[in-house]
Structure formats: C-alpha cells, structure tokens
Structure 1
C-alpha cells in the first residue's frame, strides 16, 4: 500500500480498489481529539467520491483501536458551556459542536463504499461509536469494548445509542450503556457486536482486508445498492436519535458531575458524582 495523502490523525492508503483508513492518534491509544473530528468527515467524503475505491478497511494503529474521546484535548470545547451554564449562546455553540462531531461518524456510516473494521485492544466510547458505523466488524482475541460515556457523565451522542439497537439488540445495549462495563471479544461476538474473532491483530486486519477485496470484486453499483437498501429502513431512526441526543446534551450535559469527571481525568483519580 502507498500513502495517498498526509493527515494528522490518520493514514489513508490504497491497494487496488480497497482503501485502508488507520487511526494514528496523535493522542495516546488513538484517542479522538480535534484533528480526528475535523479529518474524519473529509477522509470519508473523499473515499465516497473516489470511483477507484470500492471498499474501505478501518483500523487502529498500535496495541489499541481507540481509547475514545480525548477529554484533555477536547476540554476547551466543553469549557464555555460549563463556565456559563444558564446561557443560550454557549449551549447553542455546544449543540453545533456535537452536530459537527456527529458528521464525522455519519460520514463513515453514509459512505457508499462498504466499511470493514478491524479492532484490536481497547475500543472505548467514541471507538464503539465509530465501529458501530462500519458495515462489518472483526476483532482480535484481545479486543475489549466499553460504552464508557456514562462513567464520565456524558450521554453517548456520536452514534452508539442510535445504531447499536439494530446490531446487538436493545437489552444488550442498555446493559452496556447504563453500566459502562467492559466486555471482551468473546462476549462481543456472542451478542453480535463483532462478526468474528481472530487470534491477534494481524489476523483480524488480514480478514478485514480479504473481506474488503471480496466486496470490491462485486459489481460496485449493486454493492452500493445493497448497502442503500439495508440502510434505508433504519436511517430515519438513526437520524432522529442523533438529533435528539444532540439537543439533550446541549440542554442537560453541562453539570457539576461533568466538571468533576474532567477534573478527575486530569488529576488521575476516580470521580465522585453527586447528581448535580
């Protein structure tokens, strides 16, 4: 594979009709900071428009797929709404920020070229949002998943709550989203979060590439048609859920508990939530 373009939070490579998008940080564990959220929609818009690309592999570099939202790097974006809770202006700006961030994950889900994710190590919070937007998910045996936003006083708003009901079912989603618990690759496969589990990260990535090549060998317009038809029945529900959670978080997410969660991250200690 050869580099197609230089990005800060990703590498994008192409081999034949298959593109590979790899998370590279710069935050620890491929955490999702400002560069991630600005580059993701651009990358997938370009892949969607590229007639030479017929399928996409989505991967993470290093030992982990992604630690999720980079709270320290993004704390400045939370600052205004937390500092001025009662004002409409900061809440409106925060609502706009959520919508912009959602557009990145939406670009993955809406890409007409099927996306196959290869997941190793930790896949936390925003990482789960991201892979839930893929069409197919493979995991290494060491993969671990967590919808952990509840642990940091956030209602997950990038797509997990919207897309996972159709993937793992309502009961499993409620268990994961309400507890913030970790699950291993075997449990993820059992509940349908991933299609298959492989011995290690290399094997999972190889399987993702092979599946992408199989997809790319099929008639491209028919493949896009299959994806479009499959997405049609749930797209309105997903869009409605994303709009609702953006409005909910703009109204209710600013709280002393969220301030405490961010402070605890910086101070590397457990948070003490008080429901205020």
Structure 2
C-alpha cells in the first residue's frame, strides 16, 4: 500500500487507517510505549471497526502495529484510574458495577474486530503481550515476523485475562496450550507460536510479514464480498454463543474477585519499577 494509492483517516489518536484497493490497514500507534492500550485505544477501537464494517469499499482489513512491536498490551499506568474506585471501596456495589461496565466496554472493542464482516489479517512483529494477544485472537488470520514474541501475561499482574483470549484461543491453539500460557505467563517465540497454531505462518521481518498480510487481504478482497461475509458468519456461528458466555462470565468474575491486595501490589510495582510481591490477599 503506497502513499499515492492509499487514502488515510486522520481523526484517530491511537490508530492510523489507510484504505486502498478494497483493503484497509489499521495500525496501532500508541500513544503509550510499544503501542500500549490506553484510554484512546479502548475508546476508538470499536468505532474504527464499525466504520470499516459499514464501508462498502472495504473488503478486508490488515491489522498491524507501528514501530518495533505489535503491542505491549494494556497500558496499566494509563488505565489504573479505572481500577482505583473498586480497589479503594471493595465492599460497595456501586464501584463494582462501574468496573463491570468498564470491562464490558473494553470487551466491545475486541468484539468489534471479531464481529467485523470484513476478514481481518493480523501482521505481528516484536512483542505481542496480554491485550495484544486478546486482539489478535479476534483476527481471522495471524502472521508473525521471526522476531515476534507472545505472552498471556495478565497472571503476572494479578489479573484474569478478560478481553477474549480465554474465549477465543481454545478454538485456535487448544485447551492445553492455552492453560500453559495463561497459568505461567511465559513468553513464547514465533516458532513456538506457529507450532501450536497461534499464527498461520512466520516471515523474515516486519516488512515481510506486513507484505504477506496485504497479499492475503488482497486475495480475500478479490473474492465475492457477500460470500466472504457468509463464510465468516457460518464459521463464527457455532462458537459465538460460547464466546459471548465466556466474556459475560469473566466480566462478572473480575468485577467480584479481581480487586485484591495483589492487584494493588502489581500496579504499585509497575509505578515503582520493581518486581511485585504477591501474597494471595
């Protein structure tokens, strides 16, 4: 996608969007380090994909990250204000209700990617952590560069992942691999990600993976659009109820049980740039 071919949207703070030849490229731009997912990201993600879903000229989407990394995941310092009331007033229903609404609103952004009638091809380079894995799990096809690294790292910061990894990854990588990654918070490289089916293919570098994603998106865009949308609809139908049920359950679970001394310790440790000390309280 060259500059003279593409038309670009300029109104977004956390994304750039370019459209050419039936393909839209959505690029994460931060503003957090490593394209971390802060308030702008969660506010704009559902609106970006709603626009693309409604655009008859767009037939496929490439989802990429700017710079050296796809995404460091949740921007914990920027989003910590959303945790504050429920942590400060644990016994009250009001803060928990507000926190539940925040989780549901954030889930709606990742859902907009999964539910987009235009197939989404993710091009992943560098780190893809936590919320980044949630995001790519909502894509239809995932490609990685050889330097890509993946981690479902929420357990390391005393959080149960609630943006879709637990709902969608069993169908992608299987239950055993998901449990290993979720319970350890370990990092895996692109070769392991390909072996377990997290990514479809691995390419030499960031340029190569982006080119491959555009090639696949272009091939999709050249097919009959209503049939492409029908394929997505039929493939998603059998698992959509299970995904929705899982998302509802984890939103309720986190609203009830996520507030903890360990979560406060995790947030404090991030700000103080030190390892956390978890005590199970």
TM-score normalized by the length of structure 1: 1.00
Equivalences for residues 77-156 of structure 1 within 5 A:
77-156=82-161
CA distance in 2, matches of 1:108, 1:271: 33
Q: Secondary structure at the match of 2:159?
A: coil
Taking the aligned partners of 1:251 and 1:239, their CA distance within structure 2 comes to 19
Describe the SS at the equivalent of 2:25: strand
The corresponding residue for 2:39 is 34
> What secondary structure does 1:238 align onto?
helix
Matched, 1:260 2:265: yes
- C-alpha separation between the residues in 2 aligned to 1:70 and 1:84? 23
Q: Which of residues 245, 248, 251 is equivalent to 1:243? A: 248
Distance in 1, matches of 2:109 and 2:92, equals: 27
Q: 1:56 aligns to what SS in structure 2?
A: strand
1:132-177 alpha-carbon deviations (Å, 9 max, x no partner): 0000000000000000000000000000000000000000000000
- Matches of 2:259 and 2:191, distance apart in 1: 36
Alignment equivalent of 2:169, drawn from 160, 164, 170: 164
CA RMSD in angstroms, aligned pairs only: 0.4
Normalised by the size of structure 2, how large is the TM-score?
Answer: 0.98
SS in 2 for 1:175: helix
Count how many residue pairs are aligned between Structure 1 and Structure 2: 276
Tell me how far 1:6 sits from its aligned partner. Answer: 1.9
Gaps of 5+ in 1: none
Quote how far apart the aligned CAs of 1:5 are.
3.5
Query: What is the CA-CA distance between 1:4 and the residue it aligns to?
Result: 2.5
Match of 2:235 in 1: 230
The secondary structure found in structure 1 opposite 2:10 is strand
Cα deviations by residue, 1:93-115 (Å, 9 ceiling, x for unpaired):
00000000000000000000000
CA distance in 1, matches of 2:159, 2:217: 34
1:180 paired with 2:185, answer yes
3-state SS in 1 of match to 2:167: helix
Residue aligning to 2:67 = 62
1:168-206 CA-partner distances (Å, limit 9, x unpaired):
000000000000000000000000000000000000000
Match of residue 218 from structure 1: 223
Question: Which of 14, 26, 29 is matched with 1:24 structurally?
Answer: 29
| Alpha-carbon separation, structure 2, partners of 1:241 and 1:23 | 26
Unaligned runs of 5+ in 2: 1-5
Alpha-carbon distance in structure 2 between the residues aligned to 1:4 and 1:19: 10
Match of 1:74 among 53, 75, 79: 79
Q: What aligned pairs does 1:46-57 form with structure 2 within 5 A after superposition? A: 46-57=51-62
Q: Please give the secondary structure, in 1, of the residue aligned with 2:132.
A: helix
Distance across 2 between alignment mates of 1:23 and 1:4: 13
Deviation per CA, 1:40-94, whole angstroms, max 9, x where unpaired?
Answer: 0000000001100000000000000000000000011110000001100000000
The 1-side partners of 2:31 and 2:113 are apart by 20
1:241, 1:134 → 2: CA distance? 18
